[in-house]
């Protein structure tokens, strides 16, 4: 199977038109006609990912976060992005990124399902052309919980070593908003949808206390903390759609540790 055929199938399920305008998705390096027998799924393109792609003799690498976000002026071994691209190209590994199109059509629903949210709504609609799709989900809980109980549930569901919580432990939670990845730009939308808590990542000090001041708690599960579910989800997608391929995955490894 050629790389282009795999891309066609991925984009049939996660069309490029659902990605944000600022995003950079698609084939970022390599050949469309590359014959693919082994594929590696990862969240990020760090040095460890590139090394596993090479040592695992994979033909194609698929990640959530793009290695190239903005135009590059050069590709050489004096820059860490250049070194990664060079190694992928030298080893004839085709590299494909699927970012906010997956956020809109996969990540949010999957995270909501894992939290057992019932009848979730889109938090921020980003596509109105042929469907009301968008970033994040918001839903009412069938049984209210405390903020402390909610934080414990998030830790368990996403297998996290810990979360950062802005709010009182005993605060009553009846409505949840979730934005996998970086959600500080969606605090206003969560407040508008009357969420009692926003579950997301990359929340700064001021965003957290300002949300609290408006009676909304925040559970910061980290950017990687929720989005690592991309790996197992895409592993299943590839196994279901390309049974002839050998699918490898990067081990879940959080980018920081808690002392």
Are 186 and 179 a contacting pair, CB within 8 Å? Answer: yes
Judged against a pLDDT cut of 90, whether residue 259 lies above it is answered with no
Helix (H) or strand (E) holding 203: none
Mean pLDDT score of the chain = 96
| Whole-angstrom distance, CA of residue 43 vs CA of residue 66 | 9
Average pLDDT value for residue range 47-73: 96
pTM, to two decimals: 0.95
Q: Which CATH superfamily is domain 102-225 in?
A: NIF3 (NGG1p interacting factor 3)-like (3.40.1390.30)
| Whole-angstrom distance, CA of residue 152 vs CA of residue 139 | 18
Judged against a pLDDT cut of 90, whether residue 255 lies above it is answered with no
Tokens describing residue 152 = 């414990």
Which CATH number is correct for 3-101+228-249, 3.40.50.300, 3.40.1390.30, 3.40.50.2300, 3.30.70.980?
Answer: 3.40.1390.30
Judged against a pLDDT cut of 90, whether residue 258 lies above it is answered with no
Split at pLDDT 50, 70, 90, the class of 216 is: very high
| Whole-angstrom distance, CA of residue 69 vs CA of residue 17 | 17
pLDDT digits (tens, 9 = 90+) for 195-204: 999 999 999 9
| Whole-angstrom distance, CA of residue 35 vs CA of residue 116 | 40
């Amino acid at each position: 199977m050629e790389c282009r055929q795999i891309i066609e199938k991925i984009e049939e399920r996660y069309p490029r038109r659902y990605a944000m305008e600022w995003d950079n998705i698609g084939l970022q390096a390599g050949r469309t006609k590359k014959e693919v027998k082994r594929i590696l799924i990862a969240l990020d393109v760090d040095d460890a990912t590139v090394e596993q792609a090479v040592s695992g003799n994979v033909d194609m690498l698929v990640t959530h976060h793009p290695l190239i976000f903005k135009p590059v002026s050069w590709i050489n071994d004096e820059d860490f992005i250049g070194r990664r691209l060079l190694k992928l190209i030298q080893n004839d590994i085709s590299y494909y990124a699927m970012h906010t199109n997956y956020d809109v059509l996969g990540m949010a629903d999957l995270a909501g399902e894992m939290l057992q949210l019932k009848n979730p709504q889109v938090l921020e609609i980003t596509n109105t052309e042929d469907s009301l799709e968008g970033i994040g989900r918001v839903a009412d809980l069938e049984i209210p919980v405390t903020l402390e109980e909610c934080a414990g549930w998030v830790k368990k569901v996403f297998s996290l070593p810990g979360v950062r919580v802005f709010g009182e432990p005993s605060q009553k939670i009846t409505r949840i908003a979730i934005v996998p990845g970086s959600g500080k730009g969606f605090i206003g939308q969560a407040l508008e949808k009357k969420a009692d808590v926003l579950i997301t990542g990359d929340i700064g000090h001021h965003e957290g206390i300002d949300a609290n001041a408006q009676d909304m708690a925040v559970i910061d599960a980290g950017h990687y903390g929720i989005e690592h579910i991309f790996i197992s989800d895409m592993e299943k997608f590839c196994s279901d759609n390309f049974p002839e391929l050998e699918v490898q995955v990067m081990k879940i490894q959080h980018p920081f540790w808690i002392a």
